[in-house]
Amino acid sequence: MAQTAALTPETISLADWRTTARYIDHSLLRMETTRNQVIRLCQEAVHYGFPTVFVHPCFVALAANVLHGTPVKVGTPIGFSLGAAHTTVKRFEALEALRVGAEELDMVMNVAMLKSGETDFVQNDIRAIVQVAHEEGIVLKVILETPLLTRDEKILACELSLAAGADFVKTATGLFGGATVEDVSLMRSVVGTRARVKASGGVRTAKELAAMVGAGADRIGTSSGVNMMRDLGAPELA
């Protein structure tokens, strides 16, 4: 298959699987996830060239050990899944994650406080984790949980994330609904080039991934990366 410079809905059927793979945060965040599944996740990421795996904090050290010496980074969510923990707890969780090997962090925004009009709290909550991440040169993404927000709240959440210094805004955890093309496009229009956009939640096919990229997503969080690779003709991992 011929490689493509960019991935769009029109070119997805011709896209080289390696191009698609570079967009994917290979994620496994189910409650029942086991050690062996995390090990397999890491092996898949190396095999297909996914830039990052995302695992629960308790599995960060394991993933970091399995991926040592490879280009694949280990990411983990902070404040998962509701984002309602105290800021000090989120900060400690981030510090611990970095201590045991995390190289990217996705923090869940405090939706309850946003909907309560506590914008200073929300911005300071994000900034606290941004500071932890940036002191170690680590990327920080903010999960907005877009399925629970109004259009105005989505715009405000993006603006607060930018003000706090976040590197990415991200659609959702996937627990309350998923990413939509409309939300990704809106988020991109707000952040422009000041931050990147991650689409996550319900992106299960290469065609859906291409639509998100076409709408402005820089990264896709999904547990369906292997199926996408298979659909695009990538060799199977033994």
Terminal-to-terminal C-alpha distance of the chain:
22
Is pLDDT above 90 for 4? no
Q: What does the pLDDT look like over 6-19, one tens digit per residue?
A: 677 667 655 789 99
Percent residues over pLDDT 90 in the chain: 93
Q: Is the dihedral of CA 15, 17, 19, 25 positive or negative?
A: positive
- Predicted confidence at residue 16, as pLDDT, reads 87
pLDDT given at position 1: 34
Tokens of 51: 């830039």
The residue-averaged pLDDT of 203-230 equals 96
In this structure, are residues 180 and 211 in contact, taking their beta carbons and an 8 Å threshold?
A: no
pLDDT tens digits, one per residue of 76-130: 999 999 999 999 999 999 999 999 999 999 999 999 999 999 999 999 999 999 9
Task: Look at residue 12 in the predicted model and tell me its pLDDT.
Answer: 65
3-state secondary structure of 52: strand
Q: What confidence tens digit (pLDDT) does each residue in 32-41 have?
A: 999 999 999 9
Going from the N-terminus, what domains does the chain have, and what CATH number goes with each? 12-231 (3.20.20.70)
What phi and psi values does residue 76 have, to the nearest 5 degrees? -150, 150
pLDDT at res. 133: 98
Q: What percentage of the chain's residues is helix, strand, coil (to nearest 5)? A: 45, 15, 40
| pLDDT at site 13 | 58
At 81, is the secondary structure helix, strand, or coil? coil
Average confidence (pLDDT) over 42-47: 98
Give the model's pLDDT for residue 72.
98
**Residue 238 pLDDT class (50, 70, 90 cuts):** confident
Active site (catalytic) residues: 106, 170, 198
